Amino acid sequence: MSANSSYAAAGVDTAAGDLAVELMKASVAATHGPNVLGGVGGFAGLFDLSFAKEYERPLLATSTDGVGTKIAIAQALDKHDTIGQDLVGMVVDDIVVVGATPLFMTDYIACGKVVPDRIAAIVTGIARACAETGTALVGGETAEHPGLMGVDDYDVAGAAVGVVEADRLLGADRVRHGDVVLAIESSGLHSNGFSLVRHILANAGLTYTDSAADLATTWGEALLEPTRLYSGPLVQLLADERLGSAVHSLSHVTGGGIAANLARVLPLGSWVEVDRSTWSPAPVFRSLSALAGSTLESSEGTWNLGIGFFAVVSADAASDVVAALGALGLPSWQVGEVAIGARDLTGFEQGAKGVDGGAVRLVGSYSA
């Protein structure tokens, strides 16, 4: 028995893997600009960094993440062409938080069985989103794990690298008393809190193909709404000499919810009260809360409730930043102001994920 036939007997189909690569090759190659060396299928991706000589002190930024249990909904509906955008959103949009321009990304897919069309749909979605964010998809890996994962199971993860000039690095140290906090709209749930979502639907006896009357679609279609991509517009904003310098810190609202993610990009000793009345959470959040018999406020540490990003900016430029973001396709609005000074912080969330940051609490009631 040949080695290949022995591998096939063990449940690994190398021919299916090769076909998947052929199906995705064109979409991946479309993300390659002049800085990418070599083609698809090498052991390592190559990216020419010669342009970094123009930087005084170039800093590389890197991020890695996955999509989480939102994948279970894609699997249940056998719809895999949007989950790649979720991955890029979770990975690449973390890089722009520090002011970096994304350069390249790699992906990793683990599955119980390689189904070429399915793998190609996932990677094509990744490549499409990479192209939208100006990120080259320079490599990846698809690993077949028979016996460890079911034939229809898979998981995706990725890592990306960006670059930023040291003196343009964004962060809490730039934030000042009186700075304005802008919220930037999300496209829905993005990719966080789906364990809670799945729990709510299961307890209600609902499936993903059931109609969600308030959402004018099925639950599955509503929940698979892909993550909004922020990197492209934010990189353009930061490149503007005046408005870019007015942006002091950015926060990607992902795991941990609203207050915790904003607190991470504020300096120790600062505090912000985020005014709920400045926005109305999208219907999907309201419908899920109603199903659970809970309040929107109770999910603020789990879901983004309509805020995908925060930008902390100079007060004198806030209205111009809002206008610029709107022109770039990112609706935004003011939710609060930064204050630095002693006060009673009872009820505030302070720091998160090991960061000794500022303090944040949400106040008021959501707009109807």
Tens-digit pLDDT profile for residues 60-76: 999 999 999 999 999 99
Residue 349 three-state SS:
strand
pLDDT at 184: 98
Residue type at 204?
A: A
pLDDT at 7: 55
Q: How far apart are CA 134 and CA 99, in angstroms?
A: 15
pLDDT at 313: 98
Check if the beta carbon of residue 245 is closer than 8 Å to that of residue 149: no
- Two tokens at 366? 């959501």
Sequence-ordered list of residues with C-beta below 8 angstroms from that of 269, at least 6 positions apart, any chain:
340, 341, 358
Looking at the predicted structure, is the pLDDT value of residue 12 above 60? no
Looking at the predicted structure, is the pLDDT value of residue 2 above 90? no
Residue 58 three-state SS:
strand
Q: How far apart are CA 281 and CA 288, in angstroms?
A: 11
% of the chain with per-residue pLDDT over 70 = 92
pLDDT tier at 13, thresholds 50, 70, 90: low
pLDDT at 43: 81
**More confident call, 358 vs 22:** 358
Q: How far apart are CA 290 and CA 329, in angstroms?
A: 30
Q: Are strands 154-165 and 349-352 parallel, antiparallel or unpaired?
A: unpaired
pLDDT at 360: 97
| Average of per-residue pLDDT values in the chain | 91
Among 349, 346, 340, 285, CA closest to 312: 340
Phi–psi pair at 204, nearest 5 degrees? -85, 0
Average pLDDT over residues 242-260: 95
Average pLDDT over residues 203-207: 95
Check if the beta carbon of residue 226 is closer than 8 Å to that of residue 152: no
Looking at the predicted structure, is the pLDDT value of residue 348 above 70? yes
pLDDT tier at 316, thresholds 50, 70, 90: very high
pLDDT at 37: 83
